[in-house]
Amino acid sequence: MESWPIIGAPLKNVWDLASKDLTEAARSLAPQIKAVVPGLFSVSAGIGLTVIQFALAIAVAGVLLANAQAAYVATCTLTNRLFGERGPELQQLMGATIRSVTTGILGVALIQAVLAGLGFLVAGLPGAGLWAVVFLVAAVLQVGMLILIPAVIYMFTIASATKAVLFLMWCVFVGLSDNVLKPMLLGRGVAAPIVVVFLGAIGGFVALGLIGLFVGAIALSVGYKLFLAWLEQPPLASQET
């Protein structure tokens, strides 16, 4: 532990103190512990809420799939009531947006996580499975590279230079692969620009969690189409003349 860069020496001092006097170690770290605990509780609550939302979403999706025809008729009626003659068009847009987000964001994140996990396993990184899960969450948030950086630094401390450099090259490939995969998968079949779907999905995720990936993308895509329809309408003065 002492040979780790930057954090090695402080961690060793804390570890030595804890091995000799655990009470004194806890007392010396009390301010840091008090500062971290509220954040941990907040993160745990957020993760728990996301899991509950995800479970409820699966249950609702199962009920809707079991009554797919009735749900389709209901959504047709609702979109026609809300948007009038543009209802069918916007209904198709919503379905295409959901499929696009699934393949373009969740799908790409899953592909990257599998590639990163293979790299962790081959390189012999301790806790490769946990690293892959953390990377999957970060990839959904579009910050997967932030997880790869400490992994690369750690490999340079425990492995030979050749092995660490090869691992670095693989991580660069994994991190940059979304630049190729997203244009291929995100926005396919959606009558809205890729950037609109992407920004809606990321903004929705930040605001509402995992379910927000779809809610945000749908809201922004539909809003974009309605905004274009409003722009295409002639001004009120010309209509009156």
Give the number of domains in the chain.
1
Is 224 contained in some domain?
Answer: yes
**Residue 9: how many other CB atoms lie within 10 Å:** 13
Is 56 contained in some domain?
Answer: no
Tell me the C-alpha distance between 5 and 14, whole Å: 16
Q: What angle (nearest 5°) sits at the alpha carbon of residue 58, between those of residues 209 and 141?
A: 25
Is 11 contained in some domain?
Answer: no
Is 41 contained in some domain?
Answer: no
Tell me the C-alpha distance between 228 and 69, whole Å: 31
Is 54 contained in some domain?
Answer: no
| CA 187 to chain CA centroid, nearest Å | 17
What is each CA distance from 51 to 30, 47, 68, 130, 211, in whole angstroms? 31, 6, 25, 18, 10
What is each CA distance from 86 to 17, 18, 129, 211, in whole angstroms? 69, 67, 47, 26
Give the tens place of pLDDT for each residue, 1-30.
Answer: 667 667 777 778 777 777 777 777 777 777
Is 21 contained in some domain?
Answer: no
The answer to whether 197 and 187 are in contact (CB under 8 A) is yes
Q: What angle (nearest 5°) sits at the alpha carbon of residue 91, between those of residues 96 and 57?
A: 70
For residues 140-146, give the mean pLDDT.
81
Domain that holds residue 196: 67-233
Give the tens place of pLDDT for each residue, 101-115.
Answer: 888 888 888 899 999
Give the tens place of pLDDT for each residue, 33-73.
Answer: 777 777 777 777 777 777 787 788 788 888 888 888 888 88
Is 118 contained in some domain?
Answer: yes
Q: Which residues contact 128 (CB under 8 A, 6 or more apart)?
A: 117, 120, 121
The answer to whether 101 and 214 are in contact (CB under 8 A) is yes
pLDDT interval class at 197 (50, 70, 90) = confident
Tell me the C-alpha distance between 181 and 187, whole Å: 11
Cβ burial, residue 81 (10 Å; 0-12/13-18/19+): exposed
| Predicted pLDDT of residue 235 | 66
| Predicted pLDDT of residue 118 | 93
| Predicted pLDDT of residue 117 | 92
- pTM of this structure: 0.62
For the chain, the average pLDDT equals 81
Is 38 contained in some domain?
Answer: no
